[in-house]
Structure 1
Amino acid sequence: MEGVAPDTPRARRTPGAGHAPRARRTVVVVAFDGVQLLDVTGPVEVFTTANRHGGDYDVRVVSPTGESVTTSSGLVIGAGEPPLRLPRRRSTLLVAGRQDWRTAVADTGLVSLVARMAGQAERVASVCAGAFLLAEAGVLDGRRAATHWELATQLATAYPRVRVEDNPVFARDGHVLTSAGVTAGIDLSLALVEEDWGAETARGVARQLVVFMARPGGQAQFSARLAPRQPQHPAVRRVMDHVTEDPAATHTLTALASAAGLSGRHLERLFRTEVGTTPGRYVESVRVEAARTLLEAGGGTVEEVAQQAGFGSSESLRRVFQRVLGIAPTQYRARFHSTAAP
């Protein structure tokens, strides 16, 4: 590949069960000035490592001009000219992203290149903010898509024809795949390796790179504190402040309506209109964030955390964490309390 040397010919292992030997697959990664380094190198490392575990990829890093690109971290990546035409079968176009996505989508030459190559490739994928380039090129119209949780609202606002999902590590809609932030490009690439060459090859790559074969949970585990739409109605603001000040207090609809000086039905209608959720869901979200803060601080037992956050019992806390975050409270604490090895 241009920018990354291809593996030399070697004896290949048999693909996973149910996967007959297949011809070499082409992966073209689109890079450009300001691109996030790991958006490019993460997937490239997965696909080239797969070549040592039974896969057979021709991996190329290309730029719109065919010249090297300077990444967001200041490192330079060697890149080549985009191929005039991708093979329709056994080809994957992967579009990296840049945090300043507006600059990327304003580059008409880059967008045209993405649109042209996306129309040729068998599969199309993006990493992180690369979803904005796919959206600008019209590839995501009417499709489900993921991006970094911080950018999900911006993607949905800028491209209303895209069905944006803010929690998946990666999403697939037909032949188009989009991943969440940065390292999620590794998860997406591993899934493609498994699809192409079987689970055994993908497991070999995951072990080699010391990453999850399938990451547990979604982006909600990593996102910042919930920031709902700011309401205009003073009664709704008063209720939200009341809940945030003491998540463990009794916050039934009746109690909240009394605090707001409204009927329960009127309060629910105002919440849906101004906050985009129900009072009950808002209370739950505040309690989840309170529990996360307590677990990350490391103080107290899970039962004590549940009481302090307003869940009443560790079992209630566990059920909500599994539903909202896809992880148990004990696992959350182990993962986010410290970077020290257990």
Structure 2
Amino acid sequence: MKNILIIVPDGGMLFESTGIADILMQANRLHTEGLTQPRYSVTVATTQPHQVIHGQSGLNLLADHRLAQLAPDETRDTIMITGRGQSEDEACAVTDWLRLAAPYARRVVSICGGALLLAQSGLLDGRRATTHWRLLETLQAHFPRVKVEGGPLYIQDGPVWTSGGVSSGFDLTLALIEEDYGFTLARDVAQDLVMYLRRPGGQLQFSRYHLNQARSSGPVSTLQTWILSNLAADLSVEKLAEHIAMSPRNFTRVFSRETGATPARYVAEARLAAARHRLEQTTETLEQVAVATGFGSSLNLRRIFEKQLHLTPGEYRQRFHCRKMA
């Protein structure tokens, strides 16, 4: 039997921890012939002195233990952290305990913002890791030794697993079951719970559109606004530099300093964001979307989507289109 300790900081989304526990318990219920004990034993711990975990929804969860009551040198199969908590004191309580406990666990797992606590404990140094897309820049900025990746739903690097936001922890949990007990059990758990064992289109977080904006008003900020209204135009560095009367070299330096992105990267991200928006909100053909957003043809649009999002434009529209278009 594999014992799983789930550490649930206060103030997060409780369905992360309870959903993971339900998935593991479903693994216990299936194919029990010949089993002398359950596959998983789940324990929930909190940093709170009263053992009540307050969820951001207003609902509460009663933990099995206070984290301070648990011996860190006890042998454990898996330690999971769901979220990063609401205070520095709580974060330190978790990370201090985790530094002592990690050597005695087979694997350590984070869900969503829990990656920040793994990083703070030093467990992510030199490792690939992910977290919720809103926290990717924070993770990289505060912990430069972590190899942060923004795309995957979850990442395994040796004994350490990290996942993206919220429900991606369920994808990770199915992957843990598959690693522990094989494909068939993981597939059957997914089917019983009406989940994807592996989501179509690859394992990818879909962040909202995030375009680097100039730090202050001025020529660069004005140019960014113009770019968004003229995505089908020639947006080469030379043309953009000419638009605000700069040399290409000086323009690239100033634009990168003001926005944190090169002109080419900004244009590429702006075009992709606009294409995503049109696929979500309009019934335009793929060719119309491609032309309007500066990709030129549906073939180029498809290539970019497959490279950046691991989906075709048609598959993206099917998954994210506005319901009124159905």
Tell me the TM-score normalised to structure 1 length. Answer: 0.83
Cα distance in 1, alignment partners of residues 61 and 306 from structure 2: 41
Report the 3-state secondary structure (helix = DSSP H, G, I; strand = E; otherwise coil) of the residue aligned with 1:166: coil
Deviation at 1:169, TM superposition (A): 1.0
Question: Which residue among 80, 105, 113 is the counterpart of 1:94?
Answer: 80
Q: Deviations over 1:44-80 (max 9, x none)?
A: 1221111233571111112234723222222222212
Question: Which residue among 23, 31, 44 is the counterpart of 1:61?
Answer: 44
Report the 3-state secondary structure (helix = DSSP H, G, I; strand = E; otherwise coil) of the residue aligned with 1:154: helix
Report the 3-state secondary structure (helix = DSSP H, G, I; strand = E; otherwise coil) of the residue aligned with 2:93: helix
Question: Which residue among 213, 230, 238 is the counterpart of 2:214?
Answer: 230
- Equivalent pair of 1:105/1:133 in contact (CA under 8 Å): no
Deviation at 1:32, TM superposition (A): 3.3
Whether 1:84 and 2:68 are equivalent positions in the alignment is: no
Cα distance in 2, alignment partners of residues 32 and 220 from structure 1: 23
Cα distance in 2, alignment partners of residues 294 and 153 from structure 1: 27
- Equivalent pair of 1:115/1:134 in contact (CA under 8 Å): no
Cα distance in 1, alignment partners of residues 71 and 98 from structure 2: 12
Range 138-147 or range 321-330, more displaced = 138-147
Letter in 1 for 2:40: Y
- Equivalent pair of 2:79/2:109 in contact (CA under 8 Å): yes
Whether 1:328 and 2:315 are equivalent positions in the alignment is: no
- Equivalent pair of 1:147/1:180 in contact (CA under 8 Å): yes
Range 178-187 or range 281-290, more displaced = 281-290
Cα distance in 1, alignment partners of residues 5 and 90 from structure 2: 22
Whether 1:298 and 2:298 are equivalent positions in the alignment is: no
Whether 1:244 and 2:244 are equivalent positions in the alignment is: no
Match of 1:279 in 2: 263
Cα distance in 2, alignment partners of residues 132 and 105 from structure 1: 14
Q: Deviations over 1:250-296 (max 9, x none)?
A: 21222112112122233333344443433222212111111111111
Deviation at 1:152, TM superposition (A): 1.3
- Equivalent pair of 1:144/1:165 in contact (CA under 8 Å): yes
- Equivalent pair of 2:214/2:258 in contact (CA under 8 Å): yes
Range 140-149 or range 322-331, more displaced = 140-149
Cα distance in 2, alignment partners of residues 40 and 198 from structure 1: 23
- Equivalent pair of 1:152/1:164 in contact (CA under 8 Å): yes
Whether 1:256 and 2:243 are equivalent positions in the alignment is: no
Cα distance in 1, alignment partners of residues 87 and 268 from structure 2: 38
Whether 1:129 and 2:113 are equivalent positions in the alignment is: yes
Tell me the TM-score normalised to structure 2 length. Answer: 0.87
Q: In the superposition, relative to structure 1, how do residues 335 and 105 fare at CA in structure 2: closer, same or farther (>3 Å)?
A: farther
Match of 1:35 in 2: 12
Range 327-336 or range 260-269, more displaced = 260-269
Match of 1:25 in 2: 2
Report the 3-state secondary structure (helix = DSSP H, G, I; strand = E; otherwise coil) of the residue aligned with 2:4: strand
Cα distance in 2, alignment partners of residues 305 and 73 from structure 1: 39
Letter in 1 for 2:79: L
Letter in 2 for 1:301: T
Report the 3-state secondary structure (helix = DSSP H, G, I; strand = E; otherwise coil) of the residue aligned with 1:151: helix
Match of 1:184 in 2: 168
Deviation at 1:234, TM superposition (A): 4.0
Structure 2, gaps ≥5 residues long: 32-37
In angstroms, what is the RMSD of aligned CA positions? 2.5
Structure 1, gaps ≥5 residues long: 1-23
Deviation at 1:106, TM superposition (A): 4.5
Match of 1:268 in 2: 252
Q: In the superposition, relative to structure 1, how do residues 231 and 69 fare at CA in structure 2: closer, same or farther (>3 Å)?
A: closer
Range 128-137 or range 174-183, more displaced = 128-137
Cα distance in 1, alignment partners of residues 314 and 155 from structure 2: 27
Whether 1:139 and 2:123 are equivalent positions in the alignment is: yes
Cα distance in 2, alignment partners of residues 281 and 70 from structure 1: 42
Deviation at 1:149, TM superposition (A): 0.5
Report the 3-state secondary structure (helix = DSSP H, G, I; strand = E; otherwise coil) of the residue aligned with 1:49: helix
Cα distance in 2, alignment partners of residues 194 and 340 from structure 1: 38
Cα distance in 2, alignment partners of residues 287 and 196 from structure 1: 42
Q: In the superposition, relative to structure 1, how do residues 276 and 73 fare at CA in structure 2: closer, same or farther (>3 Å)?
A: same
Q: Please list, as runs of the form range in 1=range in 2, the aligned pairs for 1:112-127 lying within 5 A after superposition.
A: 112-127=96-111
- The percent identity for this pair of structures is 37
Range 63-72 or range 326-335, more displaced = 63-72
Q: Deviations over 1:180-234 (max 9, x none)?
A: 000010011111111111111111111112122122345553x122231525594
Cα distance in 1, alignment partners of residues 213 and 125 from structure 2: 25
